[in-house]
Chain A
Amino acid sequence: MAITAGTFESLELRGVGRTFGGHEALVGLDLTVRAGEFIALLGPSGCGKSTALNCLAGLLPLTHGQILLDGTRVDTVPSEKRGFGMVFQSYALFPHLSVEKNVAFGLQMRGLGKQEIRRRVDEAIDLVKLGEHARKLPGQLSGGQQQRVAIARAVVLEPSLVLMDEPLSNLDAKLRLDMRTEIRRLHQSLGLTTIYVTHDQEEALSLADRLVVLREGRVQQVGTPDELYDHPRNWHVADFMGYRNILPGVVVAPQGAGDRVQVSVGSLALSGRQVDPAGSTARDVRVAVRPDDLVVLAPGEEPRDGNVLRGTVLVVEYHGREFAVVVQAPDGTLLHVRTPVAPQVGAELALTAPAERILVFPADLTERSAEPDRAEAVAA
């Protein structure tokens, strides 16, 4: 018998919230998770994503809402009885136990027989390819190996749900890519339902079936990777999805039919696509453009949809096959651009982008919403 996933029909979060002495770390999270799904909770630090995970794990009691597993409430069940597995950012391996004993710990807690434990531990260790390190202590392993142990320890229990709290953020860049593939492989081969917390949008996009973007404790958008990538609902989500140029602007006039609008950003006049037309009464907007959607205009080339942005090259960074360039417009606005050819610092550039890829969002009512300074509280 191989390691499989525990099964359930649906996991439902209803208005789940957590406040810490008046500070709202998480507000009204509604989410239904289907068996086998890989869901990423995405957001900057302090957005409530780890709070959500800890609430799900039962490590942090809820202050609002309910969690239901197949219609039965589980938020009142202590974490050790929920049957979920969890992988921590800091690995959280028991430093005094060898790799195999770490993996066996949960099985021992369930009072399984020695034979059974032996068999399943071996299987889990093989699964993460750590056979030769089984008798070592965690301190003797590299970060990547430690994280594999942590994963083995979680999946060996055949949990109905695996919770992962930024499992890759302590690893170096190369290892992070390898482990990402590894996690995806395990997820696919075992059919584990996974909830994955990360602040790295690339990681979330590449791993998850669905993403939940959080900001200041509130859900901003839920959707598939391509939905979020191409159709962010507000400028915060856009900001998080790699729309590096977020410029304050003013709507000048609607343009033709549909969602086209004319906006002015500083001294620039652009035409873009208005998102959320319901809020189109707002004059103050944020204009979001990806660096890779901005194209350098060759001399004599027609600008796309009449959009021309001119500026001076300020910084050029080498990024392998392309260059990341910062261009300063005459009014001081900084634009991030990607170019295949390195321009000279100080050179004048003209940029263009199709109106389709220039997103115009209504600005927030409280424009100066300060970034949450509070780190997410760790579960007791």
Chain B
Amino acid sequence: MSTAPTASGHRTPDRRAPRSTASLRHRLAERGVDSSLWLMVPALVFALALFVYPFSYGIGLTFQPSLAAQERWGGGVLANYVAFFRDPFVFDSVWITMRLALPAALFNVIASIPVALVLRRRFRGKRLMTSVLVLPITLGTVLTAQGLLIFAGRQGWLNRFLMAAGLVDEPLQLVNNYVGVMLSLIITGFPFAFLLVSSYLSGIDPSLESAARTLGAGWWQRFRRITMPLLAPGLATTFILTFVLAFSVFPSARLVGDAMGSTRVMSLMAFRAFGEQNDYPMASTIALMMGVVELAVVALVLAWRALLYKGSTGGKG
């Protein structure tokens, strides 16, 4: 084959050759629009029908307060919001929820770090250990509640043991209060946080720490200067996800908490309005405010995360 190459192969036609129908196609192509975008349609239809529409409908509902609410709280179409902020029984639930969710999420994330570091090393039975730590995911909140009631109740093994060992004189009150809900949040939230933190940790190239070691960094310096900065964005994400879990605590607040007192969380309030009082506009209002409060915390954490280094961690991540 091998034709004798000549310069004639390169020609320069008129650049303004008729573009005809291709013009629109060209413009769409540049923006990344073509027929394969159909793949997105089912998911979009789903999101619009089951998320966007109901959610906007719910927001609309909040501005249609019941007559009772309007009479009691005033404020016209904003009566539900007035009620939310003025009624201490409802509004206090914001702080009650925060007092549970923030410490629980913080504890879960912080406690996960050393555990994940320890379990990162190789040792016999590591897989078993990991599996056991993940076990509570199968328990679910309801069984955890039932178990706490039995195990940590006044007659439960825990108090029985503490008394038999002479550590306490009378049974500790561990359920039907703040402590019970906190325990339940840790039991269900910690495994989740641990899973995420160890996966972020495994994404950090171990040779980075070896490199730091050759440069003379000690244990704490390596952790503080290398591991922590690379892990921090992952920790922020983990915090957000565990906080979201803890923030919407509902069954355990009712089952092992003090539903009308120290664990009167927002979701309980929302459900009370929805299921017991059938006041859908007020229920939507509380639900919406719940989302606002939670997303505010999430946004704060995300803003902090945006300041961190988020590039490659050199590992397999």
Please give the distance in Å from A146's CB to the nearest CB on chain B. 22
Q: List 21 A-B contacts (CB under 8 A).
A: A15-B13, A18-B30, A19-B30, A28-B15, A30-B11, A30-B12, A32-B10, A34-B3, A34-B9, A36-B1, A36-B2, A37-B9, A61-B25, A61-B34, A62-B22, A63-B26, A63-B29, A64-B26, A209-B2, A209-B3, A222-B9
Q: Is B7 an interface residue (CB 8 A)?
A: yes
Q: Is A224 an interface residue (CB 8 A)?
A: yes
- Chain A residues with Cβ below 8 Å from B25 are 61, 76
Mark out the residues of chain B between 1 and 36 whose CB falls within 8 Å of any chain A CB in the assembled complex.
1-3, 5, 7, 9-13, 15, 17, 22, 25-27, 29-32, 34, 36
- Chain A residues with Cβ below 8 Å from B31 are 21
Contact A37 B3 (CB under 8 A): yes
The answer to whether residues A30 and B13 also contact, given A36-B1, A37-B3, A209-B5 and a CB cut-off of 8 A, is: yes
Chain A window 40-74, contacts with chain B (Cβ cutoff 8 Å), 1 for yes, 0 for no: 00000000000000000000011110100000000
Contact A15 B17 (CB under 8 A): yes
Contact B3 A32 (CB under 8 A): no
Please give the distance in Å from B311's CB to the nearest CB on chain A. 16
B29's partner among A62, A210, A227 (CB-CB below 8 A) is A62
Chain B window 20-56, contacts with chain A (Cβ cutoff 8 Å), 1 for yes, 0 for no: 0010011101111010100000000000000000000
Please give the distance in Å from A176's CB to the nearest CB on chain B. 22
In the complex, what distance in Å separates the CA atom of A54 from the CA atom of B27?
18
The answer to whether residues A32 and B30 also contact, given A15-B15, A15-B17, A209-B3 and a CB cut-off of 8 A, is: no
7 pairs of A and B residues whose beta carbons are closest in the complex: A61-B29, A36-B1, A222-B10, A63-B30, A224-B5, A191-B1, A63-B26
Report which A residues bind B (CB closer than 8 A). 14-15, 18-21, 28, 30-34, 36-38, 61-64, 66, 75-76, 187-188, 191, 209-210, 222-224, 227, 380
**Number of B residues with CB within 8 Å of any CB on chain A:** 22
Contact A223 B7 (CB under 8 A): yes
The answer to whether residues A31 and B9 also contact, given A36-B2, A61-B29, A209-B2 and a CB cut-off of 8 A, is: yes
- Chain A residues with Cβ below 8 Å from B30 are 18-21, 63
- Chain B residues with Cβ below 8 Å from A18 are 30
Across the two chains, which residue of chain B brings its CB closest to A55? B29
Please give the distance in Å from B229's CB to the nearest CB on chain A. 25
Across the two chains, which residue of chain B brings its CB closest to A10? B9
Please give the distance in Å from B12's CB to the nearest CB on chain A. 5
Across the two chains, which residue of chain B brings its CB closest to A30? B12
Contact A188 B7 (CB under 8 A): no
Please give the distance in Å from B238's CB to the nearest CB on chain A. 31
Count A-B contacts at CB 8 Å: 65
- Chain A residues with Cβ below 8 Å from B2 are 36, 38, 188, 209
Across the two chains, which residue of chain A brings its CB closest to B2? A209
Given A31-B10, A37-B9, A61-B26, 11 new contacts (CB under 8 A): A14-B17, A15-B15, A15-B17, A30-B12, A61-B29, A66-B17, A66-B22, A187-B1, A188-B2, A222-B7, A223-B5
In the complex, what distance in Å separates the CA atom of A37 from the CA atom of B10?
13
- Chain A residues with Cβ below 8 Å from B22 are 62, 66, 75-76
In the complex, what distance in Å separates the CA atom of A32 from the CA atom of B31?
28
Across the two chains, which residue of chain A brings its CB closest to B10? A222
B11's partner among A32, A75, A76, A223 (CB-CB below 8 A) is A32
- Chain B residues with Cβ below 8 Å from A223 are 5, 7
In the complex, what distance in Å separates the CA atom of A187 from the CA atom of B10?
22
Please give the distance in Å from A267's CB to the nearest CB on chain B. 40
- Chain A residues with Cβ below 8 Å from B5 are 37, 209-210, 223-224
Across the two chains, which residue of chain B brings its CB closest to A17? B26
In the complex, what distance in Å separates the CA atom of A28 from the CA atom of B10?
12
In the complex, what distance in Å separates the CA atom of A362 from the CA atom of B5?
28
Please give the distance in Å from B234's CB to the nearest CB on chain A. 26
Contact A36 B3 (CB under 8 A): yes
- Chain B residues with Cβ below 8 Å from A75 are 22
In the complex, what distance in Å separates the CA atom of A62 from the CA atom of B26?
6
The answer to whether residues A188 and B26 also contact, given A15-B13, A31-B10 and a CB cut-off of 8 A, is: no
In the complex, what distance in Å separates the CA atom of A21 from the CA atom of B17?
23
Residue with the highest number of chain A CB atoms closer than 10 Å, among B5, B10, B30: B5
In the complex, what distance in Å separates the CA atom of A284 from the CA atom of B15?
31
Contact B13 A210 (CB under 8 A): no
Across the two chains, which residue of chain A brings its CB closest to B35? A78
Please give the distance in Å from A290's CB to the nearest CB on chain B. 23
- Chain A residues with Cβ below 8 Å from B10 are 30-32, 222
In the complex, what distance in Å separates the CA atom of A38 from the CA atom of B9?
12
In the complex, what distance in Å separates the CA atom of A240 from the CA atom of B281?
71
Mark out the residues of chain B between 252 and 309 whose CB falls within 8 Å of any chain A CB in the assembled complex.
none
In the complex, what distance in Å separates the CA atom of A190 from the CA atom of B13?
31
In the complex, what distance in Å separates the CA atom of A58 from the CA atom of B31?
16
Across the two chains, which residue of chain A brings its CB closest to B17? A14
Residue with the highest number of chain A CB atoms closer than 10 Å, among B11, B12, B25, B26: B26
Contact A210 B9 (CB under 8 A): yes
Please give the distance in Å from A219's CB to the nearest CB on chain B. 8
In the complex, what distance in Å separates the CA atom of A19 from the CA atom of B32?
11
In the complex, what distance in Å separates the CA atom of A19 from the CA atom of B3?
33
Across the two chains, which residue of chain A brings its CB closest to B32? A380
- Chain A residues with Cβ below 8 Å from B27 are 63
In the complex, what distance in Å separates the CA atom of A64 from the CA atom of B26?
6
B36's partner among A34, A227, A380 (CB-CB below 8 A) is A380
In the complex, what distance in Å separates the CA atom of A14 from the CA atom of B20?
14
- Chain B residues with Cβ below 8 Å from A66 are 17, 22
Please give the distance in Å from A273's CB to the nearest CB on chain B. 20
- Chain B residues with Cβ below 8 Å from A63 are 26-27, 29-30
